[in-house]
Amino acid sequence: MAEDTHARVTHQSRILVAIDNSPRGRAAMQAALRLAVQSQAELQGLFVEDEDLLRLASLPCTREIDLASASSHQPQANSMERALRLAAKEAEQAFEAALKNSKLNWAFRVLRGNLAETPLAAASGYDLLVIGQRGRAPTAWASHYLRKLTASEGPVVVLFDGSHAAMRAIELGCQLARPFPIRILVLADDDAAGNQKECLRWLAIAGQNAEFVQITSNGLLAYFRLQRPAALLANRDSKLLTSAQLSRLVNEIDSPLILC
């Protein structure tokens, strides 16, 4: 099983990374770049123009508050459009600067849609999806309100549901975390002991240290708010990650999210 998993990882060919210019976006870009270099994959950058934010800006009840002066005013839809275009251009320039000295094939595109759903839809045909775009506000509009987080502030965390695809997520997590241990989350149910035993068998072969944490399905978001991991990895069809939880992770958690 471990040998088959390794073959799948080393032969991956395409990675999609959704970024902006927030600390989360920069961390996601570096994680995607590191994985792309290790596997010589094609790297596709993506900036999603948040249509929910544009819709919100057009409502007469919406107010934008300047935290420095405590003054407020109604945001203009055309101003938000310009801010998003500027944010997309800055993200593209940062992506190009990070890739210019590499030998990887790469490209960048801009799409409009929901910050969680659009990258997932765009990732069809890609081996990995890395989401680092911050929800709720575009970087150009509110970058000075974002907390400054770096990839070194927390562990690399993997959601493990006992599936073969989740083993692939563990191997990718090991690649990102070395030489440090990874943290593996298993659901606190009847299968937890068996899942942990399967992980330990693979980790022993790989020579990787790990810490196991049992969580409940309802405690997932609370765990990430408290722990602030450097990156979160999971398989796209993980039993531990519902579509609603995925959307909330994109909008509320500052850690890059890597789906395989």
pLDDT at 139 over 50: no
pLDDT for 243: 85
Closest CA relative to residue 158, chosen from 224, 218, 222: 224
pLDDT at 161: 86
With CA atoms as reference, report the closest residue to 115 among 47, 54, 57. 47
**Chain-wide mean pLDDT for the chain?**
80
Given the DSSP bridges, would you call strands 231-234 and 156-160 parallel, antiparallel or unpaired? parallel
Domains and CATH numbers, the chain: 2-58+72-145 (3.40.50.620), 151-259 (3.40.50.620)
Check pLDDT > 50 for residue 138. Answer: no
User: How far apart are the C-alpha atoms of 200 and 40, rounded to whole Å?
Assistant: 28
Pairwise pLDDT comparison (77 vs 152), residue with the higher score: 77
- pLDDT value at position 87? 92
**DSSP percent split of the chain into helix, strand, coil, nearest 5:** 45, 20, 30
Tens-place pLDDT, residues 41-58: 999 999 999 888 777 766
- Give the pLDDT score at 180: 87
pLDDT of residue 57: 60
Q: Average pLDDT, stretch 119-126?
A: 94
Which amino acid, 175? Answer: Q
Q: What local confidence, expressed as pLDDT, does residue 108 receive?
A: 97
Range 78-99 average pLDDT: 90
136: helix, strand or coil = coil
What is the pLDDT at residue 7? 39
Lowest-pLDDT choice from 10-19, 116-125, 150-159: 150-159
Q: Where do we find the tokens 């030489």?
A: 179
Q: Where are the beta strands (DSSP E) in the chain?
A: 14-18, 42-50, 64-65, 72-73, 106-113, 128-131, 156-160, 182-187, 210-215, 231-234, 257-259
Higher-confidence residue of 150 and 24: namely 24
- Joined together, the tokens standing for residue 2 give 């471990």
Percent of the chain with pLDDT over 90: 37
More confident of the two residues 88 and 249: 88
pLDDT of residue 193: 73
